[in-house]
Structure 1
Amino acid sequence: MQQEQYQLAEQRALDRVSVFHRTRTLGPDGQSLSLVIVDLSQKGLMARCDQDLDREARIQVNIPGIGMCFAIVRWSLGGRIGCELEEHIELDEYHAALSALSLPGG
């Protein structure tokens, strides 16, 4: 069981790309929030947020190269949130998004 969890965590880390992108998002009640996307995968993202969001909150995030995407907050801790995208990003769109985002140190 422990080996399976390690492999899952390792695969998840490989699927994520560190980015730095300031954007606005619409919170669950439609309010505009500041967000900094710090990593992105085809299935989700992690971001710094200027407001605490509840777990399971549904937000809209503008991802460059893709547009507005609905996401569900899976965790929120210390000004960071982890979100699962309602519709996973297709590989070609994912590469377009990464091309449009700032990569740290680049």
Structure 2
Amino acid sequence: MAQSAQRIFHDDRAEHRDHVHWRARAFGPDARPLSLTIVNLSPHGLMARCDTELAEGTRIRVTLPVVGVVVAEVRWSLGGRIGGRFGQGIDRASYYEMLAAILRP
């Protein structure tokens, strides 16, 4: 397998992700609402199911509990899922407070 093809399948992200199921209020670059269900989070990004096709590099706004609106850049999009990197990371204290609010029954 070519080295570039290996990179496609290799996930070298070291940061832990927390699995969640959170229907977030989100908006695309045209300010239209997006149907977004976050399935995992870290202080620096998210993975979500999204009904709208979003190109890599698209910036979306996502409303999260505790931290409010964050901007995420779509890093990849495949089969109704997207991976987004936050423009600015969430500090650990706020992240864990947000995570507790999301996971609260």
Q: TM-score interval w.r.t. the shorter chain?
A: 0.7 to 0.9
Name the SS of the counterpart of 2:53 in structure 1. Answer: coil
User: How many equivalent pairs are there?
Assistant: 97
* Deviation of 1:7 (Å): 8.7
Structure-1 separation of matches of 2:56 and 2:75: 5
| Aligned: 1:85 with 2:86 | yes
Equivalent position amino acid for 1:8 in 2: D
Unaligned runs of 5+ in 2: 1-5
Counterparts of 2:79 and 2:12, CA distance in 1: 24
Root mean square deviation of aligned Cα:
2.0
SS at match of 1:101: helix
TM-score of the two chains, using structure 2 as the length reference? 0.84
Structure 1 portions without partners, runs of 5+: none
- In structure 2, the partner of 1:8 is 12
Q: Percent identity?
A: 44
CA drift at 1:19: 0.5
TM-score between the two structures when normalised by the length of structure 1 = 0.84
> Is the helix fraction higher in 1 or 2?
1
